[in-house]
Chains A and B, each alone.
Chain A
Amino acid sequence: MGNTADKKIITIEPVTRLEGEAKISIHLNDDGNVENAYFQTVELRGFEKFCQGRPVEEMPRIVTRVCGVCPGPHHTASGKAVDAVYNVAIPPAARMIREVFYLAHILHSHIAHFYVLAGPDFVVGPDADPTTRNILGVIEKLGLDIGKEVIKHRGFSQRIQEIIAGKATHGVCNLPGGVSKPLTAEHRAEIEHMARSLLEFCKFSITLADDVLINNHRNRELILNDTYAHKTYYAGTVDENNHVNFYDGTVRVVTPEGKEYVRFSPGDYLDHIAEHVEPWSYLKFPYLKNVGWNGFTEGVESGIYRVNSLARLNAADGLATPLAHEAYEKMYDALGGKPSHYTLAFNYARVVEMMHAAERLVELAGDKEILDDNVRTIPTATPSEGVGSVEAPRGTLYHHYWTDENGMVEKVNLLVATGQNNGPMNLSIAKAAGNLIKNFDVKQGLLNMVEMAFRAYDPCLACATHMLPGRMPLEVTIFDSRKNLFKTLKR
């Protein structure tokens, strides 16, 4: 070890310096304890700028390219925003079709995360041999039949999106006033069949989540460990009964104690949310405007709030469908009450939400009203400004467009889910690292333990984490203040 009086820098670069869209730098103080940690996003594309001058009806087809892993939420929020720009109400069948598309997207995303990404840590084990700690290891543990079920149902949720939007990735069905094409009876029947199968698959997933997350002593201890807990505000979209709604509703924010702090219409988000800029990341840091930006701190005095699965459940009073609500109650029992601040419990909350999406999908797909031919309202109002929002798998997503009187875009504001968790991810990494590095002693397992802290947020930075076999190569490089290499940890 070098001179301990020197400052030490630890850089964790997911998929190394060259490939990552994000990297982590951990800085130690003179005593060898964590002083600061930074989760850095290393790229910017600038949709807010180059969408200016485009016809607003094209926006739902352009903004999908913000993210190819979650194009569904961008397409849907954008569809709602262009409706708002033209102040047009869409026909009931169009709304149903959009919601079916959207629920299928939620299922696709949550299935991929739970099985491919988070699964290895909990099914195979956080300290298992890295060569088995991946989706292949999950399949080995659970059996090839389960693996096939995962692939099949991920495929089903993609297929539903493809039927409605033409393509599963970067779908094109939404335009001002509705959707491009009615649903045929044949397609409705196909969707209903897949939805019922997805529901059964989600029932299985709940029992698996119970086994590996709640009934497994080691994993439960890990989830309930203070290393992975933060007392923050939580936000999510709810219906009039305060039940989670992915597609539409009111944004509800609760305090770290779980009391309602504010509820607002998504169109009023600018009164409640602001964004802070740091020079060391291309991604901004949204916060609750009326609490204020108080740096990377938690608690009631800090405007940092969290979104995504557990945050949504914390911000709601339950779910509108029976099996999901039952799972929700079981989850909070296991977590010791509500709100729950345990970041790793985002994983269980995701399974609760999968169940809700499947139940709701079965309801909608079975409703023959969805077959109505009337799926378009021709806009007649002069376009001006509009906000559209949805609960993306990773949290609330806002699209806000301003146009001239011809509907040409003049200004764009996008508030994405992973952005809202940008501050919290910085907190989580600092805390996990702080507990794992003491007096220059870098504990074994640091890489994966730190990775778990931010992977629970399912960060979507071109989604570095969404791939078979689902593990990011990580490298920790420790330098002294003179930039001499001190130590390299690789996995």
Chain B
Amino acid sequence: MEKPKKAKLAVIRGSTCEGCGVALLDLNEKILDLVAVADIVYWALGLDFKHGDLEAMEAHELDICIHHGSIRTSEHEHLARLLREKSKVMVAFGACSCFGGIPGLCNVTTREGIFREVYKDTASTINDGFVTPRTSVTSNGNKLTLPGLKEQGLMLSDVVDVDYYVPGCPPTTNLIEQLIPLIGRFIETQELPPKGTYIAPDKNLCDECPLERKHVIIDKVVRPHQIIPEPDRCLLEQGILCMGPATRAGCGARCPGVLMPCRGCMGPTPGITDQGAKMLSAVASILGLNNEQNRTDEEVDRLMDQVIDPLGTFYRFTLPQATISKTYQEKGKK
């Protein structure tokens, strides 16, 4: 009997907390379904396979590459480019790879700023000479090297062409499972979904949120620890900023499910590339700033002043994707 055809699959990582790897393990026994359609020829964490072997591969020898983590060092970029060349299909897996993720908040500062804080100004550090890690250093006569940090955190599509996206921090099992039949079909028929497809529903989080919306206008924004919300009502309508209106569905609204507001790890709603701008407009709408309420300028100021840390809240997972980061990068190039 002919052996069933299987996809050659690689799992690689950039700058990552490895939560995406744990999410793959959380497939539990369904990992056997994955193994039924794909030979995992490379899993940076698991299998004995050298990057030299990767470099020796023919172009497009791999069928699918799943990439998690953002691009933070020169080596992350090198590996992403290499795997793009060797893979027919490139999947950005998880918020860091898709949008930059939480570590992308580093784009509010500089490499120098981070070094000064971590290696000098933190309370427990004793470092009078301000020693910092260096890409090349001689210690006791021994030469040692480290990869260099990039000035900014980047998402995968900043350095290579990406075919598909699996959003989430980390992606939930229900979404990862959807990859399995897609891989099976690709191997059987070479059929693929349209390029750029998100392996997640094309609707926003509020559509799948268990909490009830009454479509009211609010006057007051509160922080999550300041009130005990009613258990079954929309958090945003109780004044707690929730990213639901600007966020793609697919995770099952797990955070609102335990009465915590969404922070947007599934990324922007379909068709939107700047999640923060979308959220700003949702906030304006729920605060009645869209003229229907005839707010005075003072009222508008008062209401908007209640929105603390819009950057860290609205762009919690997507700062490298945001228009402001892109503008900064463009300026940097010039």
Contact = CB atoms under 8 A, between A and B. Distances in A.
A175 B260 contact: yes
B48 A130 contact: yes
Interface in B155-170: 169-170
Contacts of B122: 48, 275, 412-413
Contacts of A407: 223
B22 A45 contact: no
B241 to A, nearest CB: 10
Interface stretch (A9-17, A323-331, A340-348): A9-17
B17 A468 contact: no
Contact of A38 (B28, B124, B139): B139
Interface in A228-283: 269-270, 273-282
Interface stretch (B111-119, B179-187, B200-208): B111-119
Interface in A39-78: 40, 42-46, 48-55, 57-58, 61-62, 65-69, 71
Contacts of B118: 44, 46, 48-49, 284
Interface in A80-135: 82, 86, 130-131
Contacts of A463: 18, 21
Interface in B66-98: 72-73, 75, 78-79, 82
Interface stretch (B57-65, B129-137, B285-293, B296-304): B129-137
A312 interface: no
B109 A166 contact: no
A36 B140 contact: yes
A144 to B, nearest CB: 12
Task: Report the contact-size class of chain A (Cβ under 8 Å from the partner).
Answer: 35 or more
Top 3 A-B residue pairs of the complex, sorted by shortest distance between their CB atoms: A68-B19, A467-B45, A46-B114
Contact of A45 (B28, B106, B170, B316): B106
Contact of B123 (A9, A46, A411): A411
A65 B17 contact: yes
A66 B75 contact: no
Nearest to B226: A378
Contacts of B172: 167
B50 interface: yes
Given A277-B125, A408-B309, A470 B46 contact: yes
A239 B37 CA distance: 51
Contacts of A471: 46-48
B192 interface: no
Contact of A68 (B17, B49, B311, B312): B17
Q: Which of B28, B105, B127, B263 is packed against the most chain A CB atoms within 10 Å?
A: B105
B39 interface: no
Interface stretch (B142-150, B272-280, B320-328): B142-150
A275 B132 contact: no
A16 B52 contact: yes
Contacts of A472: 45
Contacts of A378: 225-228
A66 B118 CA distance: 14
B308 A173 contact: no
Given A55-B308, A67-B19, 10 more contacts: A45-B15, A48-B117, A68-B17, A169-B26, A270-B123, A279-B139, A289-B126, A379-B225, A407-B223, A468-B43
A181 B316 CA distance: 23
Contacts of B137: 279-280
B9 interface: no
B22 A400 contact: no
25 contacts: A15-B45, A27-B140, A38-B142, A42-B73, A42-B75, A44-B114, A48-B118, A58-B263, A61-B263, A62-B102, A68-B21, A68-B170, A154-B28, A167-B172, A269-B124, A276-B126, A284-B119, A376-B228, A378-B225, A378-B226, A378-B227, A378-B228, A465-B45, A467-B46, A473-B47
A54 B8 CA distance: 43
Contact of A40 (B132, B146, B228): B146
A289 B48 CA distance: 41
Contacts of B106: 45-46, 49-50
Nearest to B126: A274
A93 B261 CA distance: 22
B25 interface: yes
Contact of A65 (B103, B140, B309): B103
Nearest to A51: B105
Interface string B1-30: 000000000001101111111110110110
A180 B45 contact: no
Contacts of A277: 119, 125, 127, 131-133
A491 B49 CA distance: 9
Contacts of B231: 181
A25 B142 contact: yes
A202 interface: no
Task: Report the contact-size class of chain B (Cβ under 8 Å from the partner).
Answer: 35 or more
B44 interface: yes
Given A463-B18, A465-B45, A172 B260 contact: yes
Contacts of A408: 308-309
A463 to B, nearest CB: 5
A155 B26 CA distance: 7
A251 B30 CA distance: 42
Interface in A392-418: 400, 406-408, 411-413, 415
B257 interface: yes
A44 B133 contact: yes
B197 interface: no
A18 interface: yes
A82 B46 CA distance: 37
B255 A166 contact: yes
A172 B261 CA distance: 9
B231 to A, nearest CB: 8
Given A170-B170, A180-B259, A279-B139, A151 B79 contact: no
A466 B139 CA distance: 31
A279 B44 contact: no
B101 interface: yes
Given A68-B170, A280-B139, A466-B21, A25 B144 contact: yes
A18 B52 CA distance: 10
A424 interface: no
Contacts of A40: 144, 146
Contact of B124 (A170, A415, A473): A415
B114 A166 contact: no
Given A66-B17, A166-B260, A172-B258, A49 B117 contact: yes
A460 B5 CA distance: 37
B48 to A, nearest CB: 4
B36 interface: no
B108 A53 contact: yes
A54 B147 contact: no
A279 B134 contact: yes
B258 A165 contact: yes
Contacts of A490: 50
B29 A278 contact: no
A57 B313 CA distance: 12
Contacts of A269: 124
Nearest to A168: B26
B75 A53 contact: no
A175 B263 CA distance: 14
Contacts of A273: 124
A286 interface: yes
A169 B171 CA distance: 10
A170 B44 CA distance: 22
